[in-house]
A and B are shown apart, each in its own frame.
Chain A
Amino acid sequence: MTTLDERPTSRRSSPDAPSLEAAIMAALDTVIDPELDEPITDLYFVRSVAVDDQGVEVHLRLPTAFCSPNFAYLMASDALDALEMIDDIGIVRVMLDDHHDSDKINAGLAAHAGYRGTFGHEAQDSLDELRLTFMRKAHTAAMERSLTSLIKAGGTTNEAVGKVLLRDLPSGQYKTALLRRRVAIGLSACPNSRVLVDDHGHPIPDDEIPVKLRFARSVRISIEGNGHWCRGVLATRYEGDECDGTSGPLITNTREKQ
């Protein structure tokens, strides 16, 4: 289930609107693997996109048959939600290939059965809390990247790092990424906010700062390591496939009226 604030913005078609294919790819770009904190398109989890007069069929695949079904479901249902926001797209079908729960997930997606409708007794609540857990991890990693880079550049010291404010961070990729992740978990983006905070935005007591930063580094290394692992295994699993694990999707478009 996608919460409202995470939904991608609607793409209205206009005479200069990008092609439908571009709109589809842009929509898929908004779907994030919650565990790796990267778009499924960058991870090459999208195998194929087929557009015809009826609609679009998108096939997803993952590094192993035993990837966690909850994350698999999240990504597939987020893809479905994102694609259905596109005007005049027609019927959207998202299929997950080669997974131990493919049949269950594909049937659930086709029926718009929702998470609990798809998994029945195996699910208890919703996936919101799980998603939040990983958005918090992503924030922690982004916070560490920003602060470690500032320390390395001489902009602060290990001792003073707890006092760094958002305004002290140089503009760039790390800061943008941090701000985006702060907003995602409901933290302030005010320039006078402290950077080193807990999951709820509270500053860290002085005596806990070293261990907090140290742990944040472990979180960052863990997320990055999982990314290496998933990319590597996907590439091995689909080596020799028409769409191997190191390239973007096969796109076909047989729609007559564009």
Chain B
Amino acid sequence: MYEKNGEKFFIVDAHVHLWDARPQNQSNIHGKQFIDCFFDYHSNLSPESEKWDYETYLYYGGKRLMKDLFEDGYVDHAIFQTTLLRDFYETNFSQFRETQDLVEANPGKLTHNYAYDPRDGEDGITEMRKAHAKYGFTGVKLYTAEWHGESRGYKLDDMWSRKYLDVAQELGVKNIHVHKGPTIRPLDRDAFDVADVDKVATDYLDLNFVVEHIGLPRLEDFCWIATQEPNVYAGMAVAMPFIHTRPRYFAQMMGELLYWLDEDRIIFSSDYALWTPKWLIEQFVDFQIPEDMTEYAPITLDQKRKVLGLNAVNLYPHIQVPEELKIKTPVGANA
């Protein structure tokens, strides 16, 4: 919970990781390139005081994670978005066992989302069923840009991807988090194309599609889809830290999201350990649309409450919110 000037905010960090990118876990040069790219993002967009050294960044462990999120970072609940990258890292990028142990040791605080790769065919579906029976997840994280063997990515509307979505739906999984990235084949299309989200969002109305990183670098295409598909959400991972380095651009992004989507479909996340949540939350609560940007309405405290936690609770209703931190519905208004 974060409190400022008597105003209280329930915080859900909807996208965090426990990764191991140390050299002994890198399978090849791409494992190094990948974490170096993350480290450049971190270094470029973090305030000076929040920057980590490279060694810490490669691996920080569960104890540090709990401190950064819950002791220092005001977070009430955090959601792990599993990232496999199995062709780049020996035991994957996200550390499954370590994450699951942490979840079990801290009941009520952490949610562990599953990840699958539809290119695994029937075997992967069997695995998902087994994992669901054991862990009962309600969300999955997909990384369409993941390299696997000869393949350098897939689309959500590929035949096998649809089969996996069918099974997810059957199992009662509700939330599909999609990290859109530069999928490669075919190379002559826009690698960041988000059109496949549009297709599956139309066909799977019972599923929620949280587009992580708000479709960046295709913000406009993402907004265009989200305005038409009510089950498409904006995951703020990666977009948040612009609040510090490019506050006017951040204001424009927020303004666009509030216009094309609405205040109920924008989800806060730090993408820890890409960035730490503490300063993002502090700055977001203080944030306001600059006065000269008259094209956008000011952001209200209740809108901030929704973005910082309550919207994620709607997607993950197992997260318990204390009564005093919910938005008070005015007397006489329809709930």
Contact = CB atoms under 8 A, between A and B. Distances in A.
A binds B: yes
Interface of A: 35, 63-71, 100, 115, 119, 122-127, 129-130, 133, 137, 214-215, 217-219, 221-222, 224-226, 228-229, 232-233, 235-237
A122 B187 contact: yes
Contacts of B190: 130, 133
25 contacts: A65-B34, A66-B37, A66-B182, A67-B182, A68-B182, A69-B187, A69-B191, A70-B188, A122-B186, A124-B186, A130-B189, A218-B219, A218-B223, A221-B256, A222-B220, A225-B217, A225-B246, A225-B249, A225-B252, A228-B242, A228-B245, A232-B245, A233-B40, A236-B40, A236-B44
Given A64-B40, A225-B249, A229-B216, A70 B260 contact: no
A100 B218 contact: no
Interface string B208-244: 0000000011111001100000000000000000100
B259 interface: yes
A124 B44 contact: no
Interface residues of B, number: 39
A21 to B, nearest CB: 31
Contacts of A222: 217-220
A65 B295 CA distance: 37
Given A225-B216, A236-B43, A70 B191 contact: yes
B44 A127 contact: no
A149 to B, nearest CB: 13
Contacts of B260: 218
Interface string B177-194: 000011011111111100
Interface in B4-39: 30, 33-34, 36-37
A232 B44 contact: yes
Given A100-B30, A122-B185, A228-B245, 12 more contacts: A35-B217, A64-B37, A69-B182, A69-B184, A122-B184, A124-B186, A137-B220, A224-B249, A225-B242, A225-B252, A232-B245, A233-B41
Contacts of B37: 64-66
A83 B249 CA distance: 36
B223 to A, nearest CB: 5
Contact of B249 (A122, A126, A228): A228
B217 A125 contact: no
Contacts of B252: 221, 225
Contacts of B30: 65, 100
A233 B256 contact: no
A115 B188 CA distance: 9
A35 to B, nearest CB: 7
Contact of A225 (B181, B191, B219): B219
Nearest to B150: A121
Nearest to A126: B188
Contacts of B223: 218
A224 B246 CA distance: 11
A66 B216 contact: no
Nearest to A64: B37
B220 A122 contact: no
Nearest to A124: B186
A116 to B, nearest CB: 9
